[in-house]
Amino acid sequence: MRVIIFSWEYPPRIVGQLADYVKELARQLVKNNVKTHVVTYHDYLTGGYDNSEGIKTYRVTNPVRTHIGVLTWVLTLNQEVERAAADVYYNASKQVDLIDAHDWHFVPAAVTLKKALNVPFVYSVESLEEHRSHGANSPFNMAIKSIEWLGMYEAEKLIAKSEWMRNEAYRLYKVPLDKTMVVPVKSTSWIKNILEIYQNVGGGAGFK
């Protein structure tokens, strides 16, 4: 099985909790013989590509250097994420089973790759704009929410880290409860459950 993980933070670039979580996920996947690629942001502290512990990491940078906010920054970075993921896809003779997109940042790329190349994706929810912005509904917040919605609509499955988050995805975005799989981070069956979800989602489309 071959998986591409999208995350806007990844060690050594640590913004919040997501970076370490994704790193540990990638490690465990490699241990379980999953061919693991990580596409993340590159802020000039690291090289563009490395392959440590069997995790193939591609760090892309923004082709548009000047921005007026995080939204425009994210939206122009997505094409570089697409480029890196498409390179993985073509270099692996199109054998990519699925993409695991963490949070909203690279949802546009995941959706495009699904529509273009039939590679399905799961949307791993770390946090939601509603909670980050305390319910604010400015055009800026609405735009991020619309991207979260798009990701939830187009994803094959959501992976949430708590029952509470599953209920919030239902409350805020009307995601059917059985579309969201709850996999608590500290549980003993954590990686086993993740692999099961990957297996179910990645079973076919990528090999069409």
Least distance in angstroms from the C-beta of 77 to another protein: 10
Closer to another protein by CB, 140 or 190: give it.
Answer: 140
Kindly state whether residue 140 participates in binding another protein, applying the rule CB under 8 A: yes
How many other CB atoms are there within 10 angstroms of residue 59's CB atom?
21
Q: Which of residues 59-118 bind another protein (CB under 8 A)?
A: 63-69, 71-72, 75-76, 78-79, 82-83, 86-87, 90, 108-109, 111-113, 115-118
d(Cα 41, Cα 139) in Å, to the nearest integer? Answer: 25
Kindly state whether residue 142 participates in binding another protein, applying the rule CB under 8 A: yes
* DSSP three-state, residue 96: coil
Chain centre distance of CA 114? 13
Q: What tokens appear for 61 in the block? A: 């940078």
Kindly state whether residue 205 participates in binding another protein, applying the rule CB under 8 A: no
Least distance in angstroms from the C-beta of 66 to another protein: 4
d(Cα 59, Cα 71) in Å, to the nearest integer? Answer: 19
Kindly state whether residue 133 participates in binding another protein, applying the rule CB under 8 A: no
Kindly state whether residue 51 participates in binding another protein, applying the rule CB under 8 A: no
Among 12, 139, 178, 186, binds another protein (CB under 8 A): 139
DSSP single-letter state for residue 66? -
Find out whether 78 and 45 touch, Cβ atoms under 8 Å. Answer: no
**Does residue 53 come out as left (phi exceeding 0), alpha (psi in the -120 to 50 range) or beta?**
left
Among 146, 187, 189, 199, binds another protein (CB under 8 A): 146
Q: What tokens appear for 19 in the block? A: 């970076």
Contacts with another protein by CB under 8 A lie at 63-69, 71-72, 75-76, 78-79, 82-83, 86-87, 90, 108-109, 111-113, 115-118, 138-140, 142-143, 146-147, 150
